Structure 1
Amino acid sequence: MAPSGLLVTGASFAAFRGLHWGLQLLPTPESAAQNRWKWRNICVSLVHSLLTGAGALLGLSLYPQMAADPIHGHPPWALLLVAVSVGYFLADGTDLLWNQTLGQAWDLLCHHAVVSCLSTAVLSGHYVGFSVVSLLLELNSTCLHLRQLLLLSRQAPSLAFSVTSWATLATLALFRLVPLGWMSLWLFQQCHQIPLALVILGGTGLAIVGVMSINLGIHILVSDVLRSRPCPPTLGNKETRDCDGESIIRDDSTLRDKAWTWFSVSQFLFQLTPAFLGSEEKC
């Protein structure tokens, strides 16, 4: 199985690199003209997420044994799906190094290094089911990529952006946090029959991606859902204004204090979000 997996990984790398170059021949929306490379990079990531996320969901539906036996239980095509994903991450890492400085891309390169745990399945032919479960996260990444493309094309705020934001939060909980929790629990329960090196590697990767995912949810919740936040009230004045300048009457001082407290908490959470969330679609 390993030779075929390596062959598919190489073919996937070449295909995604070719897609990067091919998109240079297509027009870029005028609103995203200032960042053509990022637009192309996210479009390629969207293709990968659609392909592998849908493939993982369909595969687990048709072959649930992959979740029942994540080490050995998998059909031959499952390994090929994982190999396609490994090839993409190698291609995207190459694209990042080619078009950005190390200081600009270090966060995404670290993420790709963590995700390289998938290569264990390609090289050994084992843990393929575990890797396929991890590809469910790509269903959430699809929404993240769409959200970022809407931001680049200046479609925020809009109905499409609002729907995408809510879909991103929903899929983040269902297809990112739930699979991460299941994988963490399984790894903990099976640690006695898994090599210690793989337990450490897998546990570290799950912890890092889990923290990034929680920060992602906070960032999107604050920036998209809680966008209209009340501004600080003036003492002795029952009228305040929201951040869009619209007048809001507060006849109850308790209600006003609660609103200001929530505003402070939201601002604090927003400041906690790491700088790398400017490119959160890559998680």
Structure 2
Amino acid sequence: MEESVGVDNRLGYCVFIVTLVSLHCINILVERRGKPKSARANLDSWRWRNLVISWIHGLVCGCWSILSIYNHPEFVYDPVTFSSPMVFYMVVFSTGYFLYDTIDMVYNKKLLEYWEVTLHHIFVVPGFWYNWHNHICIGYSLTALTAEINSFFLHSRKLLQIQNVGFDTMLYRTCSYVNLISFFLCRIIPIGFIVFHLFGSHGDIHRKQLSVAYVNCFSVIMVIVAVVNVVLFWRLLNTDLIRPFLKSKRKEQIKINGNNNQTKEE
């Protein structure tokens, strides 16, 4: 596709490179500052740095995506050909982050340990790059990046855990509940939007604007992203809702049994 008005690929690649360099500089600064004193002693310093950088990306991209949707609600009508400088450079910025995160995991030999993140990045990096390089499906990329709104709360939750903030504190519980709600709103619903637009009853209109190879690759990416999100959502539900609920039920049952025993003794 031809370049959109106000969008320049040369500037796009400059933003891409600046993103990589900036994230590396932040990584160095976080490493020099060291882990917080409140963090557990056996915490991997790489994990701390990686989470801080991911949290920063979630904050920046999350706010960026909200502003983009507010300023360009028309993207929902034609997410294939829609483009604007604001959204275009956000996709470039996020592509730079995902590539940097992949390089960071390769360098620190974390690919297998965080296999779901690796799988996500392997498909998302070339997919986003192809979109902004060819000025296509920028609207779909914006939809996908609303997930970073949730990522901010997801990484905030993990940072609270690392700093030994109690699971029963108001701060942690609020963060975990907002995280679960935003997960559904910013990850599950956007996936449904993309599937509906591209493969629903009127999806042939959008598919005709794309090559068969692109649609097939896009389908594979959507399946991978959906699987990763299901795995992640189950982990969150299990950790923040199911386990605490079962734990409270056990405590309640123990208390009831204790009261019954006391009554019998009396």
Deviations 1:87-120 (CA, angstroms, capped at 9, x unpaired): 1111111111111244324432211112121111
Deviations 1:124-156 (CA, angstroms, capped at 9, x unpaired): 122112111111010011111011111212213
CA distance in 2, matches of 1:210, 1:248: 43
Q: Using structure 2 for the length normalisation, give the TM-score.
A: 0.83
Q: How large is the Cα RMSD of the aligned pairs?
A: 2.1
Where structure 1 has 5 or more consecutive residues not aligned to the other structure, the ranges are 232-240, 250-283
Residue-pair matches, total: 241
Q: What are the residue-to-residue correspondences of 1:203-214 with 2, within 5 Å?
A: 203-214=219-230
2:129 aligned with 1:113: no
Task: State which of 194, 211, 232 in structure 2 corresponds to 1:195.
Answer: 211
Any idea what SS the aligned residue of 1:104 has? coil
**Partner of residue 52, structure 1:** 61
CA contact (8 A) 2:120 2:228 kept: no
**Partner of residue 145, structure 2:** 135
Query: Structure 1 residue 4: deviation in Å?
Result: 2.0
Task: State which of 2, 14, 21 in structure 2 corresponds to 1:7.
Answer: 14
Q: What are the residue-to-residue correspondences of 1:38-187 with 2, within 5 Å?
A: 38-116=47-125, 117-157=127-167, 158-187=169-198
Query: Structure 1 residue 58: deviation in Å?
Result: 0.9
Query: Structure 1 residue 177: deviation in Å?
Result: 0.5
Where structure 2 has 5 or more consecutive residues not aligned to the other structure, the ranges are 1-7, 258-266
**Partner of residue 28, structure 1:** 35
Highest relative contact order (Cα 8 Å, sep 6+), 1 or 2?
A: 2
Higher mean displacement: 72-81 or 172-181: 72-81
CA contact (8 A) 1:72 1:129 kept: yes
CA distance in 2, matches of 1:143, 1:7: 29
Q: Using structure 1 for the length normalisation, give the TM-score.
A: 0.79
Deviations 1:155-196 (CA, angstroms, capped at 9, x unpaired): 131221111110011001111111111011112112233211
Sequence identity (%)? 25
**Partner of residue 263, structure 2:** none
Q: Which amino acid aligns with 1:61?
A: Y
Task: State which of 229, 239, 250 in structure 2 corresponds to 1:242.
Answer: 250
CA contact (8 A) 2:34 2:45 kept: no
